[in-house]
Amino acid sequence: MSEKTYRVGQWQITRIPEIDLYFDPAGLIPEWDESVLGEEAAPIIEPTRENGGSRLKAPVHSWLVRSESCRFLVDTGVGNGRQRTFAPFANLQTDYFDRLRAEGLNPNELDFVLCTHMHTDHVGWNTRADGGKWVPTFPNARYVWGRVDGAVARHPRFHQGPTAGVFEDSVEPIIEAGLFDEIEPGPFAPIDGVTFHSTPGHSPGHLAISLQSRGEEAFFGGDVLHHQVQVLRPEWNSAFCEDAEPARASRLWALGHAADSNALYFGVHLGGSSVGRVKRMGDRFTWIHE
One character per residue 41-70, x = contact with Zn ion (rule: CB under 5 A)? ------------------------------
User: Between 202 and 257, whose beta carbon lies closer to Zn ion?
Assistant: 202
CB under 5 A: which stretch of 66-74, 209-217, 223-231, 258-266 binds Zn ion?
223-231
- CB of residue 75 vs Zn ion: minimum separation in angstroms? 8
Please name which of 201, 199, 198, 206 lies closest in space to residue 244, comparing C-alpha atoms: 201
- CB of residue 255 vs Zn ion: minimum separation in angstroms? 18
Q: Binders of Zn ion among 102-141, rule CB under 5 A?
A: 121
User: Between 121 and 217, whose beta carbon lies closer to Zn ion?
Assistant: 121
What does DSSP assign to residue 131?
Answer: T
What spatial distance separates the first Cα and last Cα of the chain, rounded to whole Å?
19
Rounded Cα distance, 104 and 126, in Å: 18
- CB of residue 178 vs Zn ion: minimum separation in angstroms? 27
Among 223, 230, 259, 287, binds Zn ion (CB under 5 A): 223
State yes or no: residue 75 binds Zn ion (CB under 5 A): no
Spatial CB neighbours of 77, under 8 Å, sequence gap ≥ 6: 16, 18, 19, 60, 61, 62, 96, 121, 122, 124, 125
User: Between 15 and 66, whose beta carbon lies closer to Zn ion?
Assistant: 15
Residue 183: how many CB atoms within 10 A of its CB?
16
Give backbone dihedrals phi and psi of 212, rounded to 5 degrees, phi first: -110, 140
**CB burial string 246-284: b at 16+ within 10 A, e below:** bbbebbebbbebbbeeebbbbbbbbbbbbbbbbeeeeee
User: Between 9 and 162, whose beta carbon lies closer to Zn ion?
Assistant: 162
CB under 5 A: which stretch of 86-94, 134-142, 221-229, 245-253 binds Zn ion?
221-229
User: Between 71 and 202, whose beta carbon lies closer to Zn ion?
Assistant: 202
Point out which residues bind Zn ion (CB under 5 A).
121, 223
